[in-house]
Amino acid sequence: MAQIIHSMKQITFLLFVLCSHLATAQNNLRVEPMNWWVGMKNPKVQLLLQGDNLRGATVTSSQAGIQIQQVHNADSPNYLFVDLLIKANAKPGNYTLRVQKGGKLLHKIEYPLLARKSNSALRPGFNSSDVIYLVTPDRFSNGDSSNDVVKGMKETSLNRAAMYDRHGGDLQGLINHLDYMKDMGFTAIWNMPVQVNDQAKESYHGYSITDYYQVDPRFGTNALFKEFSEKAQAKGIKTIMDVVINHCGDGHWWMKDLPFKNWLNMDGKFVSTSHRRETAQDPHASAFDKKLETDGWFVPTMPDLNTRNPFLGTYLIQNAIWWVEYASLGGLRIDTWPYSWKEYSAAWAKALMTEYPNFNLVGEEWSSNPIIPAYYQKGQKNRDGFVGELPSLMDFPLQSAVSEAMRGNDKDWGQGLNKVYEVLANDLVYANPGNLVIFGDNHDMSRFYTQVKHDVDLLKMGMTILLTTRGIPQIFYGTEVLMANPNSSEHGEIRGDMYGGWAGDTKSAFTAQGLSPAEKDAQAFFKKILNWRKSNEVIHTGKLLHFGPADGVYVYFRYSAKGKVMVIVNKNTSSVDLALDRFAEILPAGAKVRDVLSSTPSAFVLGKTLQVPAKKAWVLEVE
C-alpha cells in the first residue's frame, strides 16, 4: 500500500511538472508575478512578460477595474514590462490582457487578481514575544522521499554522506514536525530559502535562487509551502521566509537572455566583493571602495543583481510582497543586507513595511561593531542623512560577545561576562535594540555547543542570557539536543542532519530515542525555558537593568509594571555567596523569589546574601 501511495505521489508530481512545462510551452509566455491582489495599498503592479520577440507589442485590456498605464521594452527583444493599475473598485477575478503586434494577437493572458485574506495588511510580524527556530530544510527531515531526486535538474544525486550534497529534507518534513516545534516552545520558524536552486552543485542551501517565484521541487511545491506556513500559523508559529535580493544563482533562467544589459553588476562578470561593509557609513570612504563592496559578487556562481535598474528593483519588491501575501508569512529574513546598494535596500524595506505596517524584517549584517548594523535600522538618525528602513537586524555584536563571554576568563580585565555587559552598554547606538534578533549561532558559523567547547553548563548559561535579555532570540535547529561540529567549521558539517529526521535514524530528537542523558537534559532545559518565556511579558518587553560583572558573576533584571525577573549568571566552578545590597535600587530587602527553571519551583525569601550554585544561570521571578 505504502508503495502504491508512494508511486501515486510520484505520478502526481510528474503530472504537475509536466503541466507547468506544457503551460509554458503552449503559451510560450512567462508572466510574473503569476497573480496579484485587489486592495493593496500600492495599487500598481509591474508585470514581467517573457516570450519570443515581444519588442514593440502593445498590451491592452478593455475590462473595467484595471488600466494598463505603460508598456516598456527591454534591451532584449524577448521581454516587456507592463505597468498595471488596479483601481479601487476592481473586483477579484481573471482579467484578460491582449498582447498584439502588427494587428496580430500574440498572446491572450487571463491574469488573476485575487481577494486578500481578512486582516492581511495588518498581520503581525515576529517580535520579542517570539523565539525563532532556524532550520535548514534540506537537513531537517525527509518527509517525502519521492522528491529526493528530480529528473531534469542539474544536481541529480542524493548523498547524505557528502556534506555539500542534497540530503533529501523537505517541506513535508517540516510539516511533520510542527508539533515538536510547538511543544518545545518555538513560536516562529526561519527556514533557509526554499525557492528553486537549479545549480550544478551545492544547491541544498538555497541561496543561489534560479527562479524567484517557484519552490524547489526537491522541497515541494508553492502550494505545499503555503500549507506549511498556514499549518504553522494554526499552531501559533509564524513563518519567516529567507529572501535574497543581492544575488541570484548562475543557473537562473534569465541568465540565458538578460532583460537589460545592466541587469547584473560588474558588467555581468565575476569580480569579488571586498566585504568592506563599513564603506556604507564611512565618511571617508572612496567611491571605488563603496562600489566594490556593493557591486562585487559574493562568489562566481552568484551573479550580483544591479538593483539600480528600476525594473529589477520593482521585480524584487513585488516578489517579496507576493510571497508574504501568498504564503501568509510572519516575517522575512534578508540575506547579505549590506551587499546591496543601500538606497535600494532601504526602498525595498519601506515598500514592504508600507504594505504591512505591523510586519517585521530582519537583515543579515555580520559585524561585531554595533555602529554598522545600527546604521540601517528604521528610526535611526544618521549624521550623513541616510534613512534606514529596516526594522530589525541580526545582532552579531551580541552573538560574538556571548560566545566570548562563555569562553573567556572572568579574572582578566574586560574578558568573560564583561563582554556581554559592554556590548549591551552600547545599545544607545540603536534606534530599537529590543527588536534585534539575538542568537548564539546560525547556519554560517560553528554551532554554539562547539563554540563553548562542548560544555553543557556554558551552553545553558549562554542560552539563558539570550533567552532572557532584550531582543528576539533565534535558536539553530539541533542546538536543543547538543548538535555540534567537532571535526570542522565547514558549513556542510554545521548544517548536519537533525536527529530522527530520516527513516531509519537510530537517534531521534522527536521521540528521544537514542538520545544520551546529556542530550535529553539539554532538550528538557530548552523546553522549560522556552515555554516559560512564551507567557512572560516582562521578558518580551520589560526594561533591562544590569550590574557590572564582578568575580565571574553577572546580574541583571527585566522589569515592567507586569513584574520583575532577576537573572544571575555565575561562571565560577564553585558556588558563590552573592551580597545583595548592591541591587537595592531594584531588589527590595527581604524580597520573595521563585526559581522558575527548577524542576520543583518553590519560592524563598532573600536574606543579605544568596548562595548561587556553580556554573549556572539562575532565573528568579521576584514576587
Q: Is 142 one of the binding residues for Ca ion (CB under 5 A)?
A: yes
Number of residues binding to Ca ion, judged by CB under 5 A:
6
Is-catalytic flag, 335? yes
Q: What is the CA radius of gyration of the chain?
A: 26
Nearer to Ca ion, 204 or 421 (CB): 204
Contact call for residue 148 and Ca ion (CB under 5 A): yes
Least Cα distance to 441 among 490, 499, 391, 400 occurs for 400
Dihedral in degrees, nearest 10, Cα atoms 438, 440, 445, 448: -170
Map residues 477-506 to x or -, x wherever contact with Ca ion holds by CB under 5 A: ------------------------------
Closer CB to Ca ion, 217 or 363, in the complex: 217
Q: Which residues are 99's β-sheet partners?
A: 59, 107
Q: Which three cell numbers stand for residue 274?
A: 571586498
Query: Residue 145 CB, nearest distance to Ca ion (Å)?
Result: 6
- Helix segments in 442-571, DSSP class H: 448-451, 456-468, 491-494, 517-534, 537-541
Position among 147, 279, 306, 479 found at the interface with Ca ion (CB under 5 A): 147
Q: Which of 524, 517, 614 is nearest to 570 (CA)?
A: 614
- The nearer residue to Ca ion, 25 or 161, going by C-beta atoms, is 161
Half-sphere exposure of residue 481, counting CA atoms within 13 Å on the CB side?
21
- Non-local (6+) Cβ contacts of 71 within 8 A are 57, 58, 59, 80, 81, 82, 83
Buried b or exposed e, range 138-149, using 16+ CB within 10 angstroms: bbbbbbbbbbee
Burial of 317 (C-beta count, 10 Å sphere; 0-12/13-18/19+): buried
Choices 139-147, 257-265, 306-314, 376-384; region in contact with Ca ion by CB under 5 A: 139-147
Q: Report the C-alpha gap between 445 and 422 in whole angstroms.
A: 22
Which residue in the list 165, 335, 427, 441 is annotated as catalytic? 335
Q: Choose between 159 and 272: whose C-beta lies nearer to Ca ion.
A: 159
State the nearest-atom distance from the C-beta of 193 to Ca ion, in Å: 16
Distance of CA 158 to the CA centre of its chain: 25
Q: Exposed, middle or buried: residue 271 (CB in 10 Å: 0-12, 13-18, 19+)? A: middle
SS3 of residue 620 by DSSP:
strand
Give the nearest distance from C-beta 16 to Ca ion in angstroms.
15
Smallest distance from the beta carbon of 622 to Ca ion, in angstroms? Answer: 49
- 148 catalytic? Reply is no
The least distance separating Ca ion from the CB of residue 170, rounded to whole angstroms, comes to 4
Q: How far is the CB of 492 from Ca ion (least distance, A)?
A: 18
**130, 138, 165, 170: which one binds Ca ion (CB under 5 A):** 170
CA pair distance 365, 573, nearest whole angstrom: 35
Which window, 136-144, 229-237, 244-252, 303-311, contacts Ca ion (CB under 5 A)?
A: 136-144
Residue 267: closest CA among 308, 239, 295? 295
Q: Specify the stretch interacting with Ca ion by CB under 5 A; choose among 122-130, 161-169, 203-211, 420-428.
A: 161-169
Nearer to Ca ion, 148 or 282 (CB): 148
Cβ proximity to Ca ion: between 214 and 451 the closer is: 214
Pure H helices in 261-309: 287-295
Of these, 137, 168, 217, 330, which contacts Ca ion (CB under 5 A)?
168
Instruction: Output the smallest distance, CB 490 to Ca ion, in A.
Output: 23
Q: Which of 198, 304, 364, 365 is catalytic?
A: 364
- Residues 329-368: x where in contact with Ca ion by CB under 5 A, - otherwise, as a string: ----------------------------------------
User: In terms of CB distance, is 142 or 435 closer to Ca ion?
Assistant: 142
Active-site residues: which are they?
335, 364
Chain contacts with Ca ion (rule: CB under 5 A): 142, 144, 147-148, 168, 170
